[in-house]
């Protein structure tokens, strides 16, 4: 059995024992009233009341499974009994099963009122929900998945979406959202890729921070997921060990969290399930205290990923029982156990037996009480009436969902067949053409919860791609054939699909993924893959339709990029939509008709093959292969790629000859819409450190700006890049900016267009929390 020695604030082990005195409390006479208030509450708490603030309660029924290994955990006590000493969190009051929002709000107000009036200290609970693609509740708006946010390259619109989500949460009495996911994509075989934003840490950081700002503008708290390393699992397998080196952790995996905390002000962090080089993050004080609190100054709350504390015993085997797991997590810096208290409920006995010092409880409880104070809960009485008229899918929500979906659709290739002229006979074919759930990711309510409640309607209006195509082009011009299912081997539908294609002017094949949980889908949590070909027999369906000679427009509704290099030249066009949400079908149809000029850009490279993984455009020179190996990893389409129905020209690139290592470089470029229609261009600025003390990526995104241009219009885009954007962990693992030559270029992807060079001059400069992390942009 592992020896557990509890420490306070990451310091030396404290002397513990049944009769050990608690640390002397500091003089608080000069503290602010708010701090004095939470410390007074702490002073009046028993050990049981303290632990009650550090756990959640999840009311679940037999057979429900929306979290990993949920069936391994026994049913909890009745909520009334569980919360007799108070309660830290109510887990997913709306998001566990289909419930009427108004009726559930009435129940929640009543429960919170009972906490206020029926417990000794009268402290309400924090209510948390999933909110990755919108509030995960029945009848709530469902927005595009985060991979689509990345494709849109539009932080302002993501912030607007998040603000709308936060407004719905606040209306329902939800205080904390478990989003965004800031894991940087490292391997598309991982099932949770669809929950991620991009393979570039800067794009992840800027988009993720925009989401945080929008959500928290409504008075609710965002929770960063999953700190840290989760996406770097070996071979893309969920929960697999992570062997990322400290430089990869520092330069790729940590920066989005740094931006989200220092620039976004996120108030909560969720630990990762990962173990990095043999150390589970949930029990790692170097990460949860050293990086989060000592380095970045985070003063919010660290919550456990669901069952993550118990997993220290059950999966990682670094704890012999739940008590050891609880002591390790609490000592490392996990303040609150979710979704329930499987491990932390053993802490009262651990305090009595001397396994843990009560000061560690106090540290965590103070953080939770401060959060409740920030949220206004310490003054809440819940004596007012709960909301009765609730619209979680308002026209305003749908308008945001539509704009984000339209800006996220990526035109990957086009042999001059798109946009489709009016009057063409269209055969719409494929398993995702008439399937509403194909528009949503794993953490949407439709795919996360409703599969366990057959017969329950989605609760929101969700036109399918087939519906949208009939509305866009005329029902009389659109025929339909299913072809095959997403992931089985049945080819019986091929013949009708071939007949439909042969009779049409253009065949629109809608293929891709089915999002689900733990093997119930082709993508999603616990739905990893070792093959990046289209699931099931979908490629065979495409081949059969191609053989008719009818031009094929391939539309992918997926949660990960697939190895479709074979299709880029053989299909008349390829359109990629990453689970575009409730308005996604109309967005796709609008792109095909030309009503929407496509402007999405790939947030992750299209893979050459499963065997070429893991791959990232952020590779050093030897990562390209070239003549040193017989295997190519070059992707068919690189990060940042995307076509338009107009053309853009770049000119007059200006790059300063020198820039100080502790300053910024200002880059300007003129962009002209040289085509016949208006369109959005995503100006992307890249750099490459030519000679450095450690190997550097051949390309690195330094900044970006989405601009709208009417035909013939020219604008100047100015990007002010802090040199700290070029920082990296040197041979001592200190993040620094080194002097030397840097290649700079702009383009419509990571491939080079207009190029320049600059020299960073001055001493090697370590970066700090005060170093700027954002590239500013201006259009004139």
Six-digit token string for 65: 């499974």
Q: How confident is residue 60, by pLDDT bands cut at 50, 70 and 90? A: confident
Q: How confident is residue 31, by pLDDT bands cut at 50, 70 and 90? A: low
Looking at residue 660, its pLDDT comes to 98
Burial of 668 (0-12, 13-18, 19+ CB in 10 A): middle
Average pLDDT, the chain: 94
- Give CA separation, 554 vs 188, 440, 453, 465, in Å: 20, 19, 32, 13
Contact 579, 196 (CB under 8 A): no
Looking at residue 16, its pLDDT comes to 29
Non-local (6+) Cβ contacts of 146 within 8 A are: 132, 133, 180, 181, 194, 195, 196, 197, 207, 441
Looking at residue 29, its pLDDT comes to 40
Burial of 291 (0-12, 13-18, 19+ CB in 10 A): buried
Tens digit of each residue's pLDDT (9 = 90 or more) over 589-619: 999 999 999 999 999 999 999 989 999 999 9
Looking at residue 63, its pLDDT comes to 59
Average pLDDT over residues 522-532: 97
Burial of 678 (0-12, 13-18, 19+ CB in 10 A): middle
Tens digit of each residue's pLDDT (9 = 90 or more) over 477-505: 999 999 999 999 999 999 999 999 999 99
Contact 756, 652 (CB under 8 A): no
Tens digit of each residue's pLDDT (9 = 90 or more) over 739-757: 999 999 998 788 888 899 9
Non-local (6+) Cβ contacts of 49 within 8 A are: 85, 86, 120, 121
Burial of 457 (0-12, 13-18, 19+ CB in 10 A): exposed
Looking at residue 64, its pLDDT comes to 61
**Paired sense of beta strands 740-747 and 664-673, if any:** unpaired
Q: Cα(718)–Cα(20) distance, rounded to whole angstroms? A: 62
Residue 744: φ, ψ to 5°: -125, 135
More confident residue, 634 or 197: 197
Contact 513, 521 (CB under 8 A): yes
DSSP, collapsed to helix, strand or coil, labels residue 778 as strand
Average pLDDT over residues 651-667: 97
More confident residue, 17 or 539: 539
Average pLDDT over residues 53-71: 76
Residue 764: φ, ψ to 5°: -65, 130
Looking at residue 380, its pLDDT comes to 97
Statement: residue 25 has pLDDT above 50:
no
Region for residue 269 given its phi and psi (left: phi exceeds 0; alpha: psi -120 to 50; beta: otherwise): beta
Residue 593: φ, ψ to 5°: -85, -20
More confident residue, 17 or 495: 495
Average pLDDT over residues 50-64: 86
Looking at residue 15, its pLDDT comes to 31
- What is this structure's pTM? 0.95
Residue 134: φ, ψ to 5°: 115, 165
Statement: residue 195 has pLDDT above 60:
yes
Q: Helices in 119-254 by DSSP H: which ranges?
A: 146-152, 155-171, 201-216, 246-248
Burial of 144 (0-12, 13-18, 19+ CB in 10 A): buried
Looking at residue 9, its pLDDT comes to 38
Looking at residue 174, its pLDDT comes to 98
Q: Which of 438, 484, 393 is nearest to 167 (CA)?
A: 393
Contact 316, 275 (CB under 8 A): yes
For 560-591, b/e burial (b = at least 16 CB within 10 A) is: bbbbbeebbeebbbbbbbbbbbbbbbbbbbbb
Six-digit token string for 477: 């011009």
């Amino acid at each position: 059995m592992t020896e557990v020695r509890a420490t306070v604030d990451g310091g030396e082990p404290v002397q513990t024992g049944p009769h050990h005195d608690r640390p002397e409390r500091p003089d608080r006479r000069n503290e602010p009233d708010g701090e004095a208030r939470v410390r007074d509450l702490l002073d009046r708490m028993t050990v049981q009341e303290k632990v009650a603030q550090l756990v959640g309660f999840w009311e679940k029924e037999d057979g429900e499974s929306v979290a990993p290994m949920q069936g391994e955990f026994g049913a909890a006590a009745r909520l009334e009994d569980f919360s007799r000493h108070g309660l830290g969190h109510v887990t997913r009051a709306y998001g566990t099963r289909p419930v009427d929002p108004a009726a559930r709000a009435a129940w929640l107000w009543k429960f919170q009122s009972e906490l206020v009036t029926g417990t000794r200290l009268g402290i309400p609970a924090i209510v948390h929900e999933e909110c990755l693609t919108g509030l995960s509740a029945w009848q709530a708006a469902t927005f595009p998945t985060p991979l689509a946010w990345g494709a849109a390259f539009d932080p302002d619109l993501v912030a607007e979406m998040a603000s709308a989500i936060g407004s719905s949460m606040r209306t329902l009495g939800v205080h904390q959202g478990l989003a965004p996911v800031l894991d940087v994509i490292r391997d598309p075989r991982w099932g949770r890729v669809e929950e991620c934003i991009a393979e570039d840490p800067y794009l992840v950081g800027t988009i993720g921070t925009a989401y945080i700002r929008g959500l928290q503008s409504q008075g609710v708290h965002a929770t960063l997921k999953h700190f840290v390393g989760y996406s770097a699992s070996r071979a893309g397998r969920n929960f697999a060990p992570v062997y990322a080196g400290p430089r990869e952790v520092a330069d790729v995996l940590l920066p989005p969290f740094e931006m989200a905390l220092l620039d976004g002000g996120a108030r909560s962090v969720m630990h990762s399930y990962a173990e990095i080089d043999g150390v589970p993050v949930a029990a790692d004080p170097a990460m949860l205290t050293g990086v989060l609190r000592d380095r970045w100054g985070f003063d919010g709350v660290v919550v456990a990923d669901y069952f993550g504390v118990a997993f220290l015993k059950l999966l990682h085997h670094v704890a012999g029982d739940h008590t050891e797991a609880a002591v390790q997590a609490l000592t490392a810096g996990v303040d609150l156990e979710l979704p329930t208290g499987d491990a932390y409920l053993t802490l009262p006995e651990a305090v009595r037996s001397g396994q843990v010092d009560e000061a560690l409880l106090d540290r965590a409880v103070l953080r939770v009480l401060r959060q409740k104070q920030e949220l206004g809960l310490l003054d809440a009485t819940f004596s007012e009436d709960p909301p009765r008229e609730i619209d979680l899918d308002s026209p305003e929500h749908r308008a945001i969902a539509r704009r984000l979906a339209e800006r996220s659709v990526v035109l990957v290739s086009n042999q001059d067949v798109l946009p489709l002229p009016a009057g063409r006979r269209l055969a719409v074919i494929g398993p995702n053409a008439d399937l509403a759930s194909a528009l949503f990711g794993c953490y949407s309510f439709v795919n996360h919860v409703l599969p366990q409640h057959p017969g329950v309607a989605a609760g929101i209006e969700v036109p399918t791609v087939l519906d949208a195509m009939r509305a866009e082009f005329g029902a009389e011009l659109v025929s339909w054939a299913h072809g095959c299912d997403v992931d089985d081997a049945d080819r019986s539908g091929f013949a009708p699909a071939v007949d439909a294609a042969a009779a049409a002017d253009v065949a629109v094949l809608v293929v891709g993924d089915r999002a689900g949980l733990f093997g119930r889908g082709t993508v999603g949590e616990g739905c990893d893959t070792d093959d990046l070909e289209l699931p099931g027999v979908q490629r065979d369906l495409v081949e059969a339709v191609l053989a008719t000679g009818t031009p094929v427009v391939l539309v992918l509704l997926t949660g990960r990029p697939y190895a479709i290099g074979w299709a880029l030249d053989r299909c008349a066009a390829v359109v990629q939509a990453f689970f575009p949400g409730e308005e996604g079908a109309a967005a796709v149809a609008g792109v095909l008709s030309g009503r929407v000029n496509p402007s999405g850009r790939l947030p992750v490279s299209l893979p050459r093959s499963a065997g070429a993984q893991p791959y990232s455009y952020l590779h050093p020179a030897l990562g390209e292969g070239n003549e040193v190996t017989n295997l190519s990893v070059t992707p068919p389409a690189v990060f940042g790629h995307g076509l338009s129905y107009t053309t853009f020209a770049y000119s007059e690139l200006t790059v300063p000859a020198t820039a100080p290592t502790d300053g910024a470089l200002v880059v300007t470029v003129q962009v002209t819409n040289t085509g016949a229609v208006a369109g959005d261009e995503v100006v992307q600025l890249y750099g490459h450190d030519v000679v450095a003390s450690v190997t550097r990526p051949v390309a690195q995104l330094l900044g970006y700006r989405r601009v709208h241009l009417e035909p013939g219009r020219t604008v100047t885009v100015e990007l002010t890049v802090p040199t700290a954007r070029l920082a990296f962990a040197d041979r001592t693992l200190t993040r620094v900016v080194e002097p030397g030559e840097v290649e700079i270029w702009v383009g419509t992807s990571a491939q080079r267009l207009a190029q320049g060079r600059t020299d960073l001059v001055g001493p090697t400069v370590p970066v700090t929390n005060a170093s700027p992390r954002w590239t500013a942009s201006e259009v004139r």
